[in-house]
Structure 1
Amino acid sequence: MRLLEVGLVIKRVSAWARGLRTPLRAGARGQRSQALVEFALVSPIFFLVMFTAIDISRLLYAYTAISSAARDGARTASLSGSTYSDCQIIQEVELVGQGFPVRMDPNSLVGNSDPNNPGGPLSPTIPPPNVGYAYIWPAVATADPPENNCDSGVQRAISPSVKHVAVEVQYHFMPLLPIVSGFASNIIVKTVSVVTTE
Structure 2
Amino acid sequence: MSSPWFGSQRSQSMTEFALVAPILLLMLFGIIDFGRLLYIYGTLVEAANEGARVSIKASSPLPSNSDVENAAKNGAQSLYLANPCPNGPLPPTSGAGAQNPPGDQGWIFITEPNPPTTVETSPTYDAPGGQSPASATGSCSAINPFQSGTYPLQVTVRYNYLFFTPLLEQLAPSIILQAYATDYTEY
With normalisation by structure 1, the TM-score equals 0.68
CA deviation map 1:125-181 (0-9, x unaligned) = 5211000111111244759xxxxxxxxxx8714797x71000000111111111111
Task: Give the Cα separation in 2 of the matches to 1:159 and 1:28.
Answer: 87
Find out whether 1:168 has 2:147 as its counterpart: no
Q: Describe the shift of the 1:192–1:95 C-alpha distance in structure 2 as closer, same or farther (beyond 3 A).
A: same
Residue type of the partner of 2:145?
R
Find out whether 1:131 has 2:119 as its counterpart: no
Task: Give the Cα separation in 2 of the matches to 1:52 and 1:83.
Answer: 45
8 Å Cα contact 1:107-1:125 kept in structure 2: no
Backbone CA RMSD of aligned residues: 3.1
With normalisation by structure 2, the TM-score equals 0.72
Find out whether 1:107 has 2:95 as its counterpart: no
Residue equivalent to 1:183:
171
SS at 1:80 equivalent: coil
8 Å Cα contact 1:164-1:196 kept in structure 2: yes
SS at 2:102 equivalent: coil
Q: Describe the shift of the 1:170–1:41 C-alpha distance in structure 2 as closer, same or farther (beyond 3 A).
A: same
Find out whether 1:156 has 2:183 as its counterpart: no
Residue equivalent to 1:6:
none
Task: Give the Cα separation in 2 of the matches to 1:61 and 1:99.
Answer: 11
Residue equivalent to 1:20:
none
Residue equivalent to 2:76:
97
Residue type of the partner of 1:107?
C
Q: Once the 2 structures are TM-superposed, how far is the Cα of residue 84 of structure 1 from its aligned partner?
A: 5.7
Residue equivalent to 2:44:
66
Find out whether 1:34 has 2:12 as its counterpart: yes
Structure 1 stretches of 4+ moved >3 Å: 23-29, 81-84, 139-143, 157-160
Task: Give the Cα separation in 2 of the matches to 1:79 and 1:125.
Answer: 31
- The runs of 5 or more residues in structure 1 that have no matched partner are 1-22, 144-153
| Higher-helix-fraction structure | 1
Q: Once the 2 structures are TM-superposed, how far is the Cα of residue 75 of structure 1 from its aligned partner?
A: 1.1
- Bigger radius of gyration among the two: 1
Task: Give the Cα separation in 2 of the matches to 1:92 and 1:84.
Answer: 11
Q: Describe the shift of the 1:68–1:125 C-alpha distance in structure 2 as closer, same or farther (beyond 3 A).
A: farther
8 Å Cα contact 1:158-1:164 kept in structure 2: no
Residue type of the partner of 2:20?
V
SS at 2:78 equivalent: coil
Q: Once the 2 structures are TM-superposed, how far is the Cα of residue 30 of structure 1 from its aligned partner?
A: 2.3
